[in-house]
Copies of this chain bind each other. A is one copy, B any other.
Amino acid sequence: MGRSPRQSVTIRHVAAEAGVSLQTVSRVVNNEPNVRPQVRERVMEAVKKLGYVPSLAARRMGGSRSYLILALNDRDRTIEGWQLGQGSDWIDQMLYGGMLACAERGYRMIFELIDTHSAHVEREVNAALSSLRPDGVILTPPHSDNPAIIDLLVAQHMPFARIGSDDASAGFAIRMDDGAAAEAATAHLIGLGHKRIGFIAGSEEYRLSGARTDGYRAAMKAVGLPIVDGLVQPGDFSFESGEAAMRAYLDFGEPVTAVIASSEQMALGALHVARDRGVDVPGELSLVSFDDTPVVRFSVPPLTAITQPIAPMTAKAAELLIDAASGKESEPGVHVIPFALAVRRSSAPPRG
């Protein structure tokens, strides 16, 4: 317990208490060599006794590290998600993976919103960097492939990780295998006996959209199923585009028996239209979602979905950046994190 100090405990107090120099305390606190075990012990006792915790700001000022990892998310998309409360837990999963990975290593993750589309991206990113001077930056889609941001980070020699990117030309790329995931989803439906499987593509602004569509095509091709016109519908990740795509499928001459949506919102939009038109899921139509979010799990029926490893990807990103800041060399290149397919009640064999 002890009295709560009004004025914070500094390294100076610890040095006095332990009868050593500031430098020795610093060494002990930072686990550096060249301190006799005996002295180290004494300092650690003083630290514990006084409840000393180094000041982040002072560390940043004196040293070359800030113990900060900056995570950049798209402002519009994030705020819209918060406002509409559509139940995507992207941010939560990101915090989960990132914050804990940082905390384990004595780091802190700071979360910031940046406007991708604005002409001021550079200014915004620069402001965040100047103010915080983080040891690394985590980029999420669509920032992960924004050339303006990438160039700026490279120019500043700021280490960064790109979640959901497969561009290994700069920074760490951390992704799941979107193509394989789309393949797995498609194979799952093929395995159930489906032949006419629709695929609602995502916004082309995101690279992974193409990879997913390719995976779908590959899986279809692998078993010799034709991809006739109209089987692949365009979408932009939104609920509305999912609705539109579903209407297109239902208005086909020969309707599909299963649909894969490249996003949770599009899957829900599709489900909504199916319900409205009296199409039973999964009786008449199987549905698979990309993104395994809370709403997908609680929908009726619960949706079969590709689980994106958002927390593990963010954790990996934080680890790589912190290791880099700590001087440990990490394998560069693309880091692929495993995905999962959560099979739920929305997918079933087609009606004989």
Contact = CB atoms under 8 A, between A and B. Distances in A.
A95 B292 CA distance: 22
B92 A53 contact: no
A108 B57 CA distance: 14
Contacts of A85: 89, 92-93, 292-294, 297
Contacts of A293: 85, 87
A113 B294 CA distance: 22
Interface in A39-79: 51-58, 60-61, 66, 79
A219 interface: no
Interface in A275-318: 292-295, 297-300, 311
A4 B83 CA distance: 35
A81 interface: yes
A87 B51 contact: no
A325 interface: no
Interface stretch (A27-35, A150-158, A164-172, A202-210): A150-158
A100 B85 CA distance: 16
A252 interface: no
Interface stretch (A127-135, A182-190, A343-351): A127-135
Contact of A111 (B58, B81, B95): B95
Copies of this chain, tallied across the complex: 2
Interface in A91-114: 91-93, 95-96, 99-100, 108, 110-111, 113
Interface string A1-39: 101111011000000000000000000000000000000
B91 A95 contact: yes
Interface residues of A, number: 59
Contact of A61 (B1, B61, B299): B61
A294 B86 contact: yes
Given A51-B123, A53-B126, A130-B8, A298 B87 contact: yes
Contact of A110 (B92, B100, B108, B130): B108
A126 B297 contact: no
A268 interface: yes
Nearest to A297: B85
B55 A87 contact: no
Across the A-B interface, give the 6 residue pairs with the lowest CB-CB distance, nearest first: A87-B294, A53-B130, A4-B155, A57-B60, A82-B96, A57-B57
Given A53-B126, A57-B60, A87-B298, 4 more contacts: A6-B155, A57-B66, A85-B297, A86-B294
9 contacts: A9-B130, A56-B57, A82-B93, A82-B311, A85-B89, A85-B93, A85-B297, A91-B91, A99-B113
